Amino acid sequence: MPTFPNAKYVMSRTDHDHWAALAKKPDTEVYQSTPTTIPYCPSSRPRRAEFVTGEHGMCGCLTLKPAPGHTPGQIRVDLDSRGKRAIFAGDALHNPVQVPLWKWNSRFCEDLDLARRSRHTLLADCVEQGRRC
């Protein structure tokens, strides 16, 4: 049973394909295959899933933007509403300490250099665009 049975799940095509392919390999660790087997997995509810790549606007105030590195298809969500701006960083930014020390990655970042670049871009966008995170 999905966590939210009536919700539409908008998610990264890149990430879905990456984890789905990994789950088929015999030597894949359990934690690596979990994203494709958990109840809200789009594979189990294809009519409720929408896969996106690149920038994707939705609801008139949200923009999904690629922030790869932690995972190949990691995305951040930029909010623009009534003159207020914010970024939901997701796994591109795990801990407040990664703001001053933006080169620090989590143990589970898949591509270390790409994760750093995405984090720097996200934080620079916060500065330049006056966004909260």
Partner 1 sequence: MPAHFAPPHAAYVKDKADRFELDWDFDNKRGR
Does residue 35 interact with partner 1 by CB under 8 A? Answer: no
For residues 97 and 38, give the distance between their C-alpha atoms in angstroms, rounded to a whole number. 30
The mark string for 63-102 relative to partner 1 (x by CB under 8 A, - otherwise) is ---------------------x-x--xxx-xxxx--xxxx
Does residue 127 interact with partner 1 by CB under 8 A? Answer: yes
Beta-bridge mates of residue 51? 11
Residue 46: CB minimum distance to partner 1, A? 27
Largest CA distance in the chain: 50
For residues 49 and 59, give the distance between their C-alpha atoms in angstroms, rounded to a whole number. 16
Whether the Cβ atoms of residue 6 and residue 40 lie closer than 8 Å to each other: no
Of 21 and 112, CB closest to partner 1: 112
Query: What are the residues binding partner 1 (CB under 8 A)?
Result: 84, 86, 89-91, 93-96, 99-102, 123-124, 126-127, 130-133
